[in-house]
Amino acid sequence: MLSYARGPNLALLGKTIGQALDDSVEHNPAGDAVISRHQSLRLNYRDLAREVGLTARGLAGLGIRPGDRVGMWAANCVEWIYLQVAIARIGAVLVNVNPAYRSHELRFVLRKSGMKAIFLHERDARANYREILEEARRDEDLELEHAILLGTEDWTRMIEHSVEPPPHITSIDDVVNIQYTSGTTGSPKGVLLTHYNLVNNAYLGGAGLRVSGSDRLCAPVPLYHCFGCVMGSLMSIVHRIALVLPAPQFDARATLEAIEAERCTILYGVPTMFIAQLEHPEFRKFNLTSLRTGIMAGAPCPIDVMRRVVNEMHCPGIVVAYGQTESSPVITGSSPDDDLETRVSTVGRALPETEVKIIAPGSGQTVEAGERGELCTRGYLVMKGYDKEPEATALAVDSEGWLHTGDLATMGADGCFHIAGRLKEMIIRGGENIYPREIEEFLHGHPKIADVYITGVPDERLGETVLAWIKVKAGESATEEEICDFCRGRIAHFKIPQYIRFVDSFPMTVTGKIQKFRIREMEIEARGLTHAASIKTA
């Protein structure tokens, strides 16, 4: 038996994002659409459609036209959803910008995407975004024309000066979203995703959870990630259910409060979020018995944590999903109907209308079931490509349409998949994808650093965290704090090395290639991380 599977047949939706909202308004106008607890806002589907319409006309008043790129650089809020749908409705393209980005990363995305407008809050507890934007724009020839501060007169003025968008026919195959992810090599790449990609992944994801009109989704995951904006907001719209936003950023207590107060039936999170809730000192005070199912994804999911969510959070149908941004994002998932062992020890089966195979690295031949190889997928879910990077696109998606994920996996005789590691060096820290080369290139800008290599090491709470091996220039000396100070405020907090070791040399092959696996092994032993490295994941 070869390691190839195709999910069940299921008629896909031929809708744009705007049409999906229209259908929800038609069939469930008075039903709860979005509850943003930290903003004290509750909108039904009729309300949501009204706000989306106002936002679309406001965008048109700014001069946003079909094909223009519009950035959203903010933590979770209702405006995120207004913009997500409004931008799609007028034929423009939403560019997701990570709120953790600082000037170095923001400058790259502004330049690379060519966005015409960006929406942001002035500041929050984590950063002063206005100042970061001003620094990113300094001495740069950018196409950015508008920077709109959410919750201020900027937004009000945009709505007041709105105009009717010019006539435009939107195709389901139009690119509607760009999300930046570190691909197989180099700097972050803009993943081009279409209405067809996103609406159908949202549809199939909800179908896999057996979603019905009475479900209420608690989504503490960030909307700038595929997990949040596809499986969260779009899934809720496509299936006409309520989306509950507990807080701007993840807050364990706020999430527990939201589940109880809103009687949520579905809960999302990366493993660290579930762990934080389970370990919260007031965990036992909350009534979570309304929970029915949920998704744990975004990072390797510890089997013991899955069991605790089932038993202690009263979430009997919790499942694991696997995917990546380039696949819109979900490729495989377990089902609430699967037995517990399947749900806690695998990432499930291929979703409907999705092909998955495991190939031998090098030869590209499909391996036998049980053999390890690279997981590839094909179907409606595969991205249109990387923005303005045809060569990188060709490396990721072959001539037969197979997306090469770079992840090592096995397929069992039952068609369930297990993720065994990664061919590429990507570090996944608490659900955040980190590409080592990006940090290495940044740290090479430090005047004392001669050479540096970044790799991931295991972490019991986050799954992985960042390690830096640094060789300083002759005659120089540096401290860990000095290196971290160089990073703070210039790169995202999750990319700052947690561990730093100053070395005189690096382990290499006879041909001079750095052996990062040896660095990792040496650090696991030296730092007593053996237990973290042994934690089993699905």
pLDDT at 232 over 50: yes
426 confidence band (pLDDT: 50, 70, 90): confident
CATH architecture of 44-170: 3-Layer(aba) Sandwich (3.40)
**168 burial type by CB count under 10 A (0-12 exposed, 13-18 middle, 19+ buried):** middle
Quick one: which of 7, 43, 12 has its CA closest to 237?
43
Q: Rounded to whole angstroms, how far apart are CA atoms 172 and 186?
A: 30
CATH superfamily of 427-534: ANL, C-terminal domain (3.30.300.30)
Task: Find out whether the peptide bond into 329 is cis, omega within 30 degrees of 0.
Answer: yes
Which pTM was predicted?
Answer: 0.88
Mean pLDDT computed over every residue of the chain: 94
For residue 245, what are the β-bridge partners?
36
187 confidence band (pLDDT: 50, 70, 90): confident
CATH 3.40.50.980 maps onto the chain at 44-170
Q: Rounded to whole angstroms, how far apart are CA atoms 160 and 54?
A: 9
**pLDDT above 70: percentage of residues in the chain:** 98
CATH 3.30.300.30 maps onto the chain at 427-534
pLDDT at 43 over 80: yes
CA distances from 488 to 127, 155, 250 (A): 11, 30, 21
**139 burial type by CB count under 10 A (0-12 exposed, 13-18 middle, 19+ buried):** exposed
pLDDT tens per residue, range 274-298: 999 999 999 999 999 999 999 999 8
pLDDT of residue 59: 98
Q: Any alpha helices (H) in 209-356, and if so which ranges?
A: 226-228, 235-239, 252-262, 271-278, 303-312, 340-345
pLDDT at 440 over 50: yes
Question: Which residues are CB-neighbours of 206 under 8 A, at least 6 positions away?
Answer: 235, 238, 239, 241
What is the CA 181 to chain-centroid distance, rounded?
Answer: 9
pLDDT tens per residue, range 138-178: 977 899 999 999 999 999 999 999 999 999 999 999 999 99
188 confidence band (pLDDT: 50, 70, 90): confident
Tell me the CB-side half-sphere exposure of residue 316, using CA atoms within 13 A. Answer: 6
Phi, psi of 328 (to 5 degrees): 75, 5
Q: Rounded to whole angstroms, how far apart are CA atoms 339 and 295?
A: 15
pLDDT of residue 328: 98
**60 CB neighbour count, 10 Å cutoff:** 20
**What is the arithmetic mean of pLDDT over 379-388?**
98
> Which pairs with CB-CB distance under 8 Å and at least 24 residues apart come from 488-492?
489/102, 489/103, 490/102, 490/103, 490/104, 490/442, 491/102, 491/104, 491/105, 491/439, 491/442, 492/98, 492/100, 492/101, 492/102, 492/105, 492/432
Write down the residue that tokens 């820290």 correspond to: 429
